[in-house]
């Protein structure tokens, strides 16, 4: 992919990627989760390794194997993911939050299997912390890339998330389009920075999306730092 002798664009950089969906326990045998396959985040981790970065992949449960050369940290819940990410934040140059973090978790996880009783059962859910928003508040030098999964108003919603969560770039995907979003090997994305749309990528493999995204990040890292 790179010409012989060409410097790898992320050499010497530490990149943390989150991937997959989180699992929120209801009881010892039941949980809430979402359709995230982890493919986008794993593709980013793999490309980051290829570009020379030292990569940590914080992943919810997926069917994928860890990309060679990346350090895999397995987590279950949003709270686990938060801890795994924030405890490693200081050491990172780039953070990419591709994970589909559950917005809510059961107010309590029962220690024993919940027994079948009445005809209806109401679950109380409480909001999970927004990890990306916390990173946006805590970051010092890190280049932060968020994702926005939307089914409508992609440009507006993605820009709103970028601003609220203080990201350097945000990757918007319209998950209602065929070939984009959850579970597929391909994606269709629009990448934004603070001033608006930077790049619109038509249907292509998640590996290609990962490469384009990391190339943008690498260019911007160079223009900020060293």
Q: Is 20 in the site for ligand CTP (CB under 6 A)?
A: no
**Segment (H or E) for 136:** helix 131-138
Q: Is 78 in the site for ligand CTP (CB under 6 A)?
A: yes
Catalytic residue among 34, 128, 163, 173: 34
147 known ligand binder: yes
Binder among 97, 105, 206, 211 for ligand CTP (CB under 6 A): 97
Cα-trace Rg, the chain: 18
Binding mask 154-193 for ligand CTP (x = CB under 6 A): -------x--------------------------------
Q: Tell me how far apart the alpha carbons of residues 122 and 101 are, in angstroms, rounded to a whole number.
A: 22
Please report, for residues 62, 78, 185, the alpha-carbon distance to residue 65 in angstroms, rounded to integers and kept in the order given: 8, 21, 15
| Residue 143 near which of Ca ion, ligand CTP, none (CB within 5-8 Å, type-dependent) | none
CB of 225 to ligand CTP, least distance (A): 23
Q: Does residue 163 have an active-site annotation?
A: no
Given the structure tokens 């449960």, which residue do they identify? 61
End-to-end CA distance of the chain: 24
Binding mask 73-112 for Ca ion (x = CB under 5 A): ------------------------------x---------
CB of 8 to ligand CTP, least distance (A): 25
CB of 173 to ligand CTP, least distance (A): 9
Is residue 112 a contact partner of residue 28, using CB atoms and an 8 Å limit? yes
DSSP 71-135: EEEE--SHHHHHHHHHTTGGG-SEEEE--B--SEEESS--SSPPPP-SS-----EEEPP-HHHHH
Residues that bind Ca ion (CB under 5 A): 103
Q: What is the set of active-site residues?
A: 34
- Which residues bind to ligand CTP, rule: CB under 6 A? 78, 97, 99, 101, 103, 128, 130-132, 146-149, 161
């Amino acid at each position: 992919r790179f010409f012989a002798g060409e410097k790898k664009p992320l050499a010497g950089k530490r990149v943390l990627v989150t991937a997959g969906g989180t699992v929120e326990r209801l009881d010892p045998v039941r949980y809430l989760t979402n359709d995230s396959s982890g493919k986008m985040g794993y593709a980013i981790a793999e490309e980051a390794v290829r570009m020379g970065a030292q990569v940590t992949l914080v992943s919810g449960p997926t069917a994928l194997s860890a990309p060679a050369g990346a350090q895999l940290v397995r987590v279950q819940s949003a709270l686990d993911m938060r801890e795994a990410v924030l405890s490693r934040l200081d050491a990172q140059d780039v953070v990419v939050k591709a994970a589909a973090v559950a917005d809510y978790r059961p107010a309590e996880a029962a220690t024993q299997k919940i027994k079948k009783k009445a005809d209806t059962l109401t679950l109380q859910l409480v909001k999970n912390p927004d990890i990306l928003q916390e990173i946006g508040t805590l970051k010092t030098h890190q280049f932060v890339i968020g994702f926005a999964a939307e089914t409508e108003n992609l440009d507006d919603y993605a820009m709103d998330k970028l601003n609220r969560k203080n990201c350097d770039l945000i990757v918007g995907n319209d998950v209602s389009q065929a070939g984009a979003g959850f579970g597929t090997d391909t994606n269709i994305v629009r990448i934004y920075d603070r001033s608006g749309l930077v790049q619109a990528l038509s249907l292509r493999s998640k590996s290609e999306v990962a490469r384009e995204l990391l190339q943008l990040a690498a260019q911007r890292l160079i223009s900020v730092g060293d």
